[in-house]
Amino acid sequence: MKVFAMAGSVRAQSFNKKLLALAVSQLQAAGAEVDVYDLKAANLQQYDADIEVTSGLPAVVVDLKERIAKADGLLLVSPEYNYSIPGVLKNAIDWASRPPATNPFKGKLVAQMGATTGQGGTLQAQSAIRHIMVGCMAWSLPGWFVVSKAQEAFDEQGQLKDAAQKEQLVKFLKRFLDELKGG
Ligand X SMILES: Cc1cc2nc3c(=O)[nH]c(=O)nc-3n(C[C@H](O)[C@H](O)[C@H](O)COP(=O)(O)O)c2cc1C
From 67, 80, 154, 144, select the one nearest 113 (Cα to Cα): 144
Shortest Å distance, C-beta 80 to ligand X: 4
Q: How many residues bind ligand X (CB under 6 A)?
A: 15
Q: Which residue lies nearer to ligand X by CB, 97 or 122?
A: 122
> Is 83 one of the binding residues for ligand X (CB under 6 A)?
yes
- Given the rule CB under 6 A, which of 77-85, 88-96, 126-134, 154-162 is the region that contacts ligand X? 77-85
Rounded-to-integer distance, Cα 176 and Cα 183, Å: 9
C-alpha distance across the termini of the chain, in Å: 13
CA-based radius of gyration for the chain = 16
> Is 82 one of the binding residues for ligand X (CB under 6 A)?
yes
Cβ atoms of residues 72 and 180 within 8 Å:
yes
Shortest Å distance, C-beta 148 to ligand X: 8
- Name the pairing type of β-strands 33-37 and 73-77: unpaired
With H, G, I as helix, E, B as strand and everything else as coil, classify residue 37: strand
Cβ atoms of residues 79 and 39 within 8 Å:
no
Write the interaction track for ligand X spanning residues 11-30; mark x where CB under 6 A is met and - where it is not.
x--xxx--------------
Distances (CA, A) of 138 to 24, 43, 130, 159: 21, 24, 9, 30
**In DSSP terms, which residues pair with 77 in a beta bridge?**
7, 113
Near ligand X by CB under 6 A: residue from 79, 108, 129, 133:
79
Shortest Å distance, C-beta 93 to ligand X: 17
Near ligand X by CB under 6 A: residue from 4, 5, 9, 37:
9
Write the interaction track for ligand X spanning residues 134-173; mark x where CB under 6 A is met and - where it is not.
----------------x-----------------------
CA atoms 84, 87, 92, 98: torsion sign: positive
- Given the rule CB under 6 A, which of 9-17, 87-95, 135-143, 170-178 is the region that contacts ligand X? 9-17
List of residues contacting ligand X (CB under 6 A): 9, 11, 14-16, 79-83, 116-118, 120, 150
